[in-house]
Amino acid sequence: MIDIKLIRENKDLVKENIKNKFQDEKLPLVDEVYNLDIEYRECKTKADEMRKQRNDLSNSIGALMREGKKEETDNIKKEVSNINEQIKALEEKEEELAEEIKKRMLIIPNIIDASVPIGKDDTENVEIEKYGEPVVPSYEIPYHADIIGTLDGLDKESAGRTSGEGFYYLKGDIARLHSSLLAYARDFMISKGFTYFVPPFMIKSDVVTGVMSFKEMEAMMYKIEGEDLYLIGTSEHSMMGRFIGQMLKEEELPLTLTSYSPCFRKEGGSHGLEERGLYRVHQFEKQEMVVLCKMEDGMDWYNKMWNYTVEFFRSLDIPVRTLECCSGDLADLKVKSCDVEAWSPRQKKYFEVGSCSILGDAQTRRLGIRYKSEEGNKFPCSLNNTVVASPRGLIALVENNYQIDGSIKIPKALQPYMGGQEKIEKK
């Protein structure tokens, strides 16, 4: 949520930002907020004036009573009572106007960074850099579900019976490899000085609306029937919710946190679910990083964070590239975002394995997270980034380490987590 001062002082900037995100249907909201805000401030000013008038009259009652001026006292009491009714009506109108303003402000997108390329959708994202040499072996790389199935590591048929489409069982060495990848990601981020968390996997609605747009919420979140609880789509949600309504200490910043969680997503819309594979599913696991810092330090942390993900995948000898997300591909709360994509030797192209985002004060303003500084109370900048999400990370690992004999070579970094095992092969 942007600062309403932007609309008061520079409506054209807010409108231009909406146009750059190809959301012209939201343009009328800016003028609506502008006019409602004028009405709200006029209402508040009038109420403040009437409170002062009421206080002045109330202060005179005592003196009149001491002087025995009963009739004058009664008249002033009636006037005070009448003012109280007017103040109550104005307060109700203030509350109503504030709610109308907030409803619209929650829909108006955040101001994107000047460096973000302008484009309508993800087809116009821009490649930044490649890391590692993409390799296509001389032998064929089967579909990842077939590789894992041949190694007796996947059972989607049973998951279909227990849970429906979009779920899976991992088993044996493949399940262990999946867990090893996440454990290594945890320790990798701890080595970078991040504090490790296992957060709640369900959050309340006020946290949901604090961390994401309504459009994202409807497309992603599973609601727990009969309760004010949602299953998280990423641990960023509950990690940000941890600070809701809190006043942080300036000396605590930056807060650098890394969290593990299962993630639950509807995955509806045009992409659909994968019938056989593990690329797009309803449930996965992820190691995340979340940072809260001063606004002026935000871009430095943004660049550090996506570089950590690149470093993580390169430590597993997986080639990756980074993509700058264009304006139309940015969620409404984001200032700037880039994707990290891993090389697929089977498809001979890259696929998304993580995303890094800086959100300015959009989340912290919604959640009421502030810190005290010499200049007064400020909203910190929030950032989030995927270290690794699996099974997508598992797919990249399996494809890039598939051997001609059907086995999977285990990277050295993961061997300690696999009990020293160097490869997975048919039994």
CB atoms within 10 A of CB 82: 11
* Mean per-residue pLDDT over the chain, rounded: 94
**Can 4-105 and 122-424 be said to share one CATH topology?**
no
Tell me whether residue 130 is exposed, middle or buried, using C-beta atoms within 10 angstroms of its C-beta: 0 to 12, 13 to 18, 19 or more.
middle
The average pLDDT across 314-321 equals: 98
Which tokens is 389 given? 């999400």
* pLDDT single digits (tens) 11-62: 999 999 999 999 999 999 999 999 999 999 999 999 999 888 888 888 787 7
Cβ neighbour number for residue 42 with a 10 Å cutoff: 12
Domain coordinates in residue numbering, the chain: 4-105, 122-424
Contact by Cβ (8 Å): 297, 250: no
Q: Which CATH number does the domain 122-424 belong to among 3.30.930.10, 3.40.50.620, 3.30.2130.10, 3.40.50.280?
A: 3.30.930.10
**Pairing assessment for the beta strands 336-344 and 320-324 based on DSSP bridges:** antiparallel
Architecture of domain 4-105: Orthogonal Bundle (1.10)
The C-alpha atoms of residue 190 and residue 186 are separated, in whole angstroms, by 6
pLDDT at residue 271, rounded to an integer: 52
CA distance 39 to 145: 60
Query: Cβ distance 144 to 122 under 8 Å?
Result: no
CB-CB contact of 198 with 178 (8 Å): no
Three-state secondary structure call for residue 110: coil
The alpha-helical segments, DSSP class H, found in 200-319 are 205-211, 214-220, 235-241, 298-314
Q: The whole model's pTM is what?
A: 0.90
CA distances from 77 to 52, 55, 72, 82 (A): 15, 11, 9, 9
397 phi/psi in degrees, rounded to 5:
-65, -45
Residues 226-281: tens digit of each pLDDT: 999 999 999 999 999 999 999 999 999 999 999 999 999 997 544 555 667 899 99
